[in-house]
Structure 1
């Protein structure tokens, strides 16, 4: 929370504040989301795999390039934290900061999840969102944010003075270690900032602090993606439940989540980009 201003506003304060904002990263030159193309691709999908994520825990899943996957509220209103890696290279992973800079604080249909530098490729494209009706509420909140980092035991210790090991960060660490055989301290280095699926968040109007409120998700709601590359994912069923009261606790009512992986007909995938965007060479002008 910021302190009260210590300096009086200058005579031209109103003029300075009224300067027109400029979007930092206009995306007009990116390939547009072709809803008809993705719509045809998803007309005949075959469920090939399911992963169930228990409350206050995480699980990994794999999605081959050209497949669809859904994160489903299977039993009640529940927030999930998502990590994504290139299945063939853990060094390439979801970059929430650049995704936020390109698509805004909250994502939905047509937005892409981008990978970290020096790769900067679309990892997955959002193709369906049963909560797209929510939009922006009166508090400035919306769903599926790329603002929050993930709940973690370090911040919990800092703010509450207690140890709590069902935070999403710890859940990811254990799940990735179990999947890869990495030691916990090595697996932890690959855990990264998340897409907060189903979470309703924003910034307060007065102090501009990050807030959460009860998720509008209900049983049957889902967020669907198209995998632009071979993906290894990890999903944590947040210990805050619907995040209406607490971020990390044993008191919040929590539900499981489900990940569904779907295969499309090969002929239906014709024309889909699958990470065909040009990449920077990495020469840095040298």
Structure 2
């Protein structure tokens, strides 16, 4: 394995130290598991009630009540999307990509949940269908739907290129949330956060541990579907990188729209849904 910045000679037992087996940091076995069979049955009763389109190099928001379903669909061509979620009644409760990654791994699929930020830490949504679950992990260590990469943004773009680019996912989501909630841009931006990279194929290089992307395997008609555990606003940006086979932010990449569809099993069924409780931690932090 290539050493990233070697400055010191390895100790005599270096290979032994490297050979120590890993331990899973946050084994999720004690976390209550979703009843996917029941959710599948529930989904069959749901009817489509809303649809919004995230145009190429733009974003859109949609509201989904607790107990309903939200589907992200590929249309026209290979396209990745950056997805945010917020609790409808309090935008400060939002998707926590880092803790979701710690619990479920670098890439999400059927049965995994999207967890909210502290101090709430509760499931916001459960993935119920993933038409790309056949991909698994390839020989490069790549997989689909990651929670490791941050959204493309104008600040990193400015740092690396010296130019301002306004149609990256951070800016797209900022405009969409501001429009949906009637907020000033600067206020909406404070609520835009790290994402689920829907349909994006990514991983880490084995020699240097660098985040990589490759052409998405997504095809028109593929979709990722969620069950809303709480009342949600869902934001989705159709990334300016298209299928992300070459670069993140680009006016040259072929880009296509993405669609969000809401499916409702009915008010009576939704009202029977028990929303997850916020974390029971007392928040004294050892001070009392």
* Range of TM-score over shorter length: over 0.9
User: Corresponding residue for 2:224?
Assistant: 223
Contact 2:55 2:258 in 1 (8 A): yes
User: Corresponding residue for 1:199?
Assistant: 200
Contact 1:121 1:279 in 2 (8 A): no
Question: Does the residue aligned with 2:39 lie in a helix, a strand or coil?
Answer: helix
Deviations 1:217-252 (A, max 9, x none): 000000000000000111000000010111100000
How far apart are residue 188 of structure 1 and its match? 0.7
Deviations 1:111-140 (A, max 9, x none): 000000000010000000000000001111
Structure-2 separation of matches of 1:70 and 1:79: 14
How far apart are residue 7 of structure 1 and its match? 1.1
Deviations 1:17-45 (A, max 9, x none): 12221111111111123221111111122
Aligned pairs for 1:54-69 within 5 A = 54-69=55-70
Aligned pairs for 1:176-215 within 5 A = 176-215=177-216
Deviation beyond 6 Å, 4+ runs, structure 1: none
User: Which deviates further from its counterpart, 268-277 or 110-119?
Assistant: 268-277
User: Which deviates further from its counterpart, 260-269 or 139-148?
Assistant: 260-269
User: Corresponding residue for 1:51?
Assistant: 52
Contact 1:47 1:261 in 2 (8 A): yes
Deviations 1:62-117 (A, max 9, x none): 00010001000021111000011000001100000000000000000000000000
Unpaired stretches in structure 2, ≥5 consecutive residues: none
How far apart are residue 3 of structure 1 and its match? 4.5
Question: Does the residue aligned with 1:43 lie in a helix, a strand or coil?
Answer: helix
Structure-1 separation of matches of 2:153 and 2:202: 18
How far apart are residue 143 of structure 1 and its match? 0.2
> Aligned pairs, how many?
286
Unpaired stretches in structure 1, ≥5 consecutive residues: none
Contact 2:146 2:200 in 1 (8 A): yes
User: Corresponding residue for 2:136?
Assistant: 135
TM-score normalised by length of structure 1: 0.96
Question: Does the residue aligned with 1:126 lie in a helix, a strand or coil?
Answer: strand
User: Which deviates further from its counterpart, 131-140 or 266-275?
Assistant: 266-275
Question: Does the residue aligned with 1:247 lie in a helix, a strand or coil?
Answer: coil
Structure-1 separation of matches of 2:4 and 2:202: 24
Structure-1 separation of matches of 2:29 and 2:190: 34
User: Corresponding residue for 1:154?
Assistant: 155
TM-score normalised by length of structure 2: 0.95
User: Corresponding residue for 1:104?
Assistant: 105
Question: Does the residue aligned with 1:71 lie in a helix, a strand or coil?
Answer: strand
User: Corresponding residue for 1:42?
Assistant: 43
Question: Does the residue aligned with 2:28 lie in a helix, a strand or coil?
Answer: coil
CA-atom RMSD, angstroms? 1.7
Deviations 1:251-279 (A, max 9, x none): 00000000000011467669865314753
